[in-house]
Structure 1
């Protein structure tokens, strides 16, 4: 089966020479394989298309995709229309379990949930007539989903959904946190969730003034508080620190003991901890998506990182995601770029102390710590946005700063925005090292205000790295990025540090991102919301041990090198704490070492 996809947000027929039509071999023979429809966009006949792919290569806006699918994918779950996204496969909600979904953005995870929650009826890829539920149920006869879809058809399913993007909540609901939570407290657990997620101090705060982390915890509380048959949670970790992520994971597992939960999450460490099974989503984002059959979470995550889904015999990526401890060690004798001065900064009720340190040329310095402990304030001090107490603004080196929360209210195109920040936009270096790996080429003509959260984040990263500076500071660049985008982003940032001979600081709560990107670590400790101290930089092992010991959390590495969270109180958790090894710990190596010492 051949799919012809036209990305409506990228097709700008009025701005191009209609190359797709001009170069199509079938059009040249007289067929109307490609036309400009009433919508002003290209329309492609899948029956007439021969799959040569010339139109795909000639389109200046990368708005077209011609895809040859495997023969066994003969019946889609649903399709949005001619030349539109198509989904194959659905996840299976399981009572008493958390079912994970892992895959790139735009692969159909939200579409699957709309179908499972009854918001959308699957059409089996049929457009010429409305598909009735009787026809849909007949198609799923004999499958595990049949009984569940019968309930969806009868409208007896009530779903509670925590959306991916939370910034619309203050626009949709005006009032305080307390009023929103009380309105949705159908399970009568407001007091419990408010205490567990530390919402007590913001209950009377207006939603408009919440930070991203506060808004994320409120959104999760609303979703967990509703009485429903099925809970769908889309990205619960952005803007939450590791301790808050662990709390959220525990609350989700508690809920799953009573109701089916499907969790879409790009923080693999948390997904690995909370889910029992996982569905892998693969395909081509915004073109087609395939949801795999359920797999054990360890097997599924490892297959996804390896890029090969064994049961389906499908390679979903040309390269594996690797975690190597030696990646934190540099053979280069790095020159000192700048000295971080000792500084203090006080606000009403909060004090920040910076012990000082040095930043080296060409290195990426990871910054970790709990929320509300002064990391963003520290970044603002270095960027000159804030002035330290008893001192002047930091101006020793040029600083480019990407803030934690990125807003989009500009009508300018992505290309105009980036061109205004750099004179190198048209160089091959900029195209190959910034635009292409960050996936910005297809959206260059899109207005910034119309971008999704993930697209906006990638533009903000590119904008920060485009400026001429000696020090680049990126505050939570992983938010709203999927696993593959995070991998690519870490490579872009590390190459930028080397190529520019600059120092780069990355503040993030995703342990995988920190693990892959950092050469050394700056650690913040203290009492969140009251006082914080910036210590270091340390070598990675020492820094992570300090950070995680403060939180009481241990990580191990499995045989693939992947960091995995130990369940609190488990044997490995207790063993590592006793050894003082909170992060770089390999159970197999430990066992061999113990065996060797016994033999001696």
Structure 2
């Protein structure tokens, strides 16, 4: 049985431990060099000598070591490895002309690495120390659909939208319009700008754009290049439902023009809407990942939710993921709300927000939905005291914890030190209630500045939930999280709010997360960037219908998993549900 040993060098802290991994290793005790130490005092584990006992895994105080027994069929199938005892990737997705292929899987499992390899950003080494030659790659993929691809890899024009779109302003300066003109190779910029509603930002500096505007700009810049292969890494982050579907249509048009497209995406509804095939990527985060064979999009997503690959005989999740199919019963108002907020207005130079009065009860979570640039974040900042209303007054004699839209910190130190600096209590209850379910216990000794977007998001969520507050405000907590992390986050948030008799407002664009979390909905409508109006909180069925009616989108249910699937515009189901005013819940 092939075995790999992976050491997470970011987590390994040799100055803070007694090298338990080496001292307790049975192989070392009998004189073998199963584990040696490098110049930094970090372990190097010999995979040939390792017996797979797992003692080093359990003894490491920083959870930095993984010893993994792999299926026999993966032996000699490693596509790329990040050095000795580094992350290993097995398999690659298959680009197909005229088709959109999706990648679905947990964070840290190799999806972005796969795109970087196919996009020539990273030269694969086939598990060796040096990058492989063209002849070695052709021989490795001989007999597979990827053989032809790697045979002409250096000749193929590739367009690649990276995941970290927020870095764009620090890498490129200038106005949006001229920058798009520079990269336009197909004469499609004007149409793409119109399709993705970017006309109003053409005269603005790149540095002034919001996360959603940067995301759509990245999609336009990628799609306007004259390439035969297009790769999009998480194109829906920070976009509202309407914008996500517009991006999905833009990506589908590339395939209709005969282009090959591969997309990494965590929003299942968007992934389902745009893809023809999906590859499931499974394994152990930050240790190894395996890219499965392609499946049809509906079957592939259902297999992922089930957690069992029948053909490969691999189970990668103990329980299947299921979704609600009916709206929750009407929210039963309690005798007295936790607080009432009055009618509020906030005026800026070119934007005005109107919020009708409302209330929220102990133990209640109110989902906040609506298009981007209609005032949702402004509303959260009004409640948090970050902004002062133009009219009305927010009088909250409550303790408030606020997680902003974009998780950022200049803190220098570990995750543990960061949390201890922000929380009055760092005890066993916090660990059991928040840290372990969110996976923060595994990164406590990691440097805060070295965290990925998803790790930082979970850390900031934990620091918010760790505060003893009456009201929690979360702005886009699902951004950068994978499907499983989103559902785990939702369960933790519900449990904390209900257990503490607190309340929460949660702003998010993931319809599934909002459906799972919310007792009622606060719905924002209006003219994006000009005027926003908040209605509610409303009972879930009424609120979801109002929200999706504004967007013009209906959802149907998959009969196997209950997951929502977007109906094609003007299809029979779409027209029937609109006629009944049932845009989401059909039961």
TM-score tier (shorter): over 0.9
Give how far 1:248 is off. 0.6
Q: Which residue of 2 aligns with 1:384?
A: 385
Between 193-202 and 100-109, the greater mean CA deviation after superposition: 193-202
| Cross-structure match for 2:310 | 310
Tell me, yes or no, if the aligned pair for 1:519 and 1:540 is still in contact at 8 Å: yes
- Structure 1 residues not aligned, in runs of 5+: 587-600
Q: Which residue of 2 aligns with 1:359?
A: 360
1:124 maps to 126
SS of 1:437 mapped into structure 2? helix
Q: CA deviation at 1:333?
A: 7.0
Matches within 5 A, 1:98-177: 98-127=100-129, 131-152=132-153, 155-177=154-176
1:346-394 Cα offsets, whole Å, 9 max, x none, are: 1122221111111111122111000111111111111111111234444
* Counterpart residue number, 2:16: 15
Judge which range, 21-30 or 453-462, deviates more. Answer: 21-30
Contact 2:343/2:392 (<8 A) preserved: no
Q: Deviations over 1:34-90 (max 9, x none)?
A: 121124321111111111111111111110000011111112122222101111111
* Cα distance in 1, alignment partners of residues 333 and 523 from structure 2: 23
3-state SS in 1 of match to 2:347: strand
- Contact 2:103–2:111, Cα closer than 8 Å, also in 1: yes
SS where residue 72 of structure 1 aligns? helix
CA contact (8 A) 1:343 1:355 kept: yes
For residues 165 and 122 of structure 2, what CA distance do their matches in structure 1 show? 21
C-alpha distance in structure 2 between counterparts of 1:57 and 1:115, whole Å? 33
Alignment correspondent of 1:598: none
Checking the alignment, whether the CA contact within 8 Å between 1:327 and 1:516 is kept in structure 2 is no
Measured in 2, the distance between the counterparts of 1:158 and 1:409 equals: 39
Q: Which residue of 2 aligns with 1:507?
A: 507
Q: Is the 8 A contact 1:176 1:206 kept in 2?
A: yes
**Relative to structure 2, which stretch is displaced further, 36-45 or 473-482?**
36-45
Q: CA deviation at 1:182?
A: 1.6
Q: Any conservation in 1 of the 2:369–2:507 contact (CA below 8 Å)?
A: yes
2:37 and 2:366 map into 1 onto residues whose CA distance is 50
- Counterpart in 2 of 1:50? 51
Whole-Å Cα distance in 1 between the matches of residues 532 and 479 of structure 2? 23
In the TM superposition, what is the alpha-carbon distance from 1:275 to its structure 2 partner? 0.2
> 1:279, CA displacement in angstroms?
0.2
The one-character-per-residue Cα deviations of 1:209-231 (angstroms, maximum 9, x if unpaired) are: 21111111111111111111210
How many residue pairs get aligned? The number is 582
Q: 1:229 to 1:40 in 2, by over 3 A?
A: farther
Task: Provide the TM-score with structure 1 as the length reference.
Answer: 0.94
Alignment match, 1:70: 71
The answer for the alignment partner of 1:234 in structure 2 is 233
Q: CA separation in 1, counterparts of 2:264 and 2:217?
A: 18
Q: In the aligned structure 2, how far is the partner of 1:544 from the partner of 1:446?
A: 40
Residues 258-277 of structure 1 aligned to structure 2 (within 5 Å): 258=257, 259-277=259-277
By how many angstroms is 1:329 displaced? 4.4
**How far apart, CA to CA, are the structure 2 residues paired with 1:436 and 1:489?**
11
Residue pairs, 1:238-253, within 5 angstroms: 238-253=237-252
2:292 matched to which residue of 1?
292
Match of 1:594 in 2: none
3-state SS of paired residue (1:141): coil
CA distance in 2, matches of 1:351, 1:475: 20
How much does 1:321 deviate?
1.3
User: What stretches of structure 2 of length at least 5 have no aligned partner?
Assistant: none
The farther-off stretch of 6-15 and 115-124 is: 115-124
Decide whether the 8 Å contact of 2:331 with 2:539 is kept in 1: no
- Per the normalisation by structure 2, the TM-score is 0.96
Deviation at 1:330, TM superposition (A): 8.4
Contact 1:243 1:551 in 2 (8 A): yes
- Distance in 1, matches of 2:545 and 2:83, equals 52
Distance, in Å, in 2 between the alignment partners of 1:22 and 1:171 is 46
Distance in 2 (alpha carbons) for counterparts of 1:361 and 1:200: 43
Q: How does 1:415-426 map to 2 (within 5 A)?
A: 415-426=416-427
Q: Is the 8 A contact 1:327 1:519 kept in 2?
A: no
Residue correspondence of structure 1 range 316-465 to structure 2 within 5 A: 316-325=316-325, 328-329=328-329, 334=334, 336-427=337-428, 429-465=429-465
Q: 2:215 maps to what in 1?
A: 216
Three-state SS of the structure 1 residue aligned to 2:283 is strand
Deviates more, 1:502-511 or 1:401-410: 401-410
Q: 1:453 to 1:394 in 2, by over 3 A?
A: farther
Query: CA–CA distance in 2 between the matches of 1:206 and 1:7?
Result: 39
- State the SS of the aligned residue for 1:362: coil
Native 8 Å contact 1:387 1:394 kept in 2: no
8 Å CA contact 2:331–2:520 kept in 1: the answer is no
Aligned-residue CA RMSD in angstroms?
Answer: 1.6
